[in-house]
Amino acid sequence: MTTLVIATRNHHKAREIRAVLGDGLRYLTLNDFPGAPTTVEDADTFAGNAAKKADSLARWLAEQPIAREGGALCVLADDSGLEVDALDGAPGVVSARFAALDSAPSANATDIDNTAKLLRLLHGVSTPNRTARFRCVIALATVGQTRPPRLFEGVCEGLILDAARGANGFGYDPVFQPLGYTESFAELGEPVKNRISHRARALAQAARGLEAP
């Protein structure tokens, strides 16, 4: 069985990835490797950050006991965020730390603070001009191989709502309404989101990559 190490400590993200990829893999996360290095996400693109995380973790795992267990060992890293047209593509690669940029540029902000800042900046912007998209780039690396990580991208178009709606999801889900729906991601719930989201679309491609490492 292939072991897939998901390069995150975010249990929401890990659960979402597992739900999309299914039960045919052995899943681990950074929570299973307390000594794993922290990767500074300083690239100016989602692809750059995802590839950097996957490559760094794969190199580290190659020196760990798990690499000698046998079977395929892969790393999956992603970088994703929200691009709002009225804000010239912001928050983009700084989506997770959007509200903390002025006070602590390298630290993530809370979901509530990030969403509040977004809604504040869009105050007065009419609905037709609140177009946005979630973008996700997944990097897949096979431990022990020297080739660069393979990259897979998914995009979900939509609109930014005037106020948060729904109790599910995380991040900007309560204020993002995907194209073709009247509910926010947080109202649609996991079954629907895990079928249409940016991450689901990138994962569908990555799944085929896992079949042919």
Catalytic residue set? 79
The DSSP element (H or E) to which 53 belongs, if any, is: helix 46-61
Closest by alpha carbon to 127, among 173, 186, 85, 171?
85
The structure tokens listed for 102 are 């002025």
Q: Which residues make beta-bridge pairs with 84? A: 132
- Label residue 208 exposed, middle or buried (CB < 10 Å: 0-12, 13-18, 19+): exposed
**Parallel/antiparallel/unpaired status of strands 26-29 and 3-6:** parallel
Question: Rounded to whole angstroms, how far apart are CA atoms 109 and 99?
Answer: 6
Q: In what order do the strands lie in the sheet with 73-84?
A: 26-29, 3-6, 73-84, 131-142, 150-160, 176-178
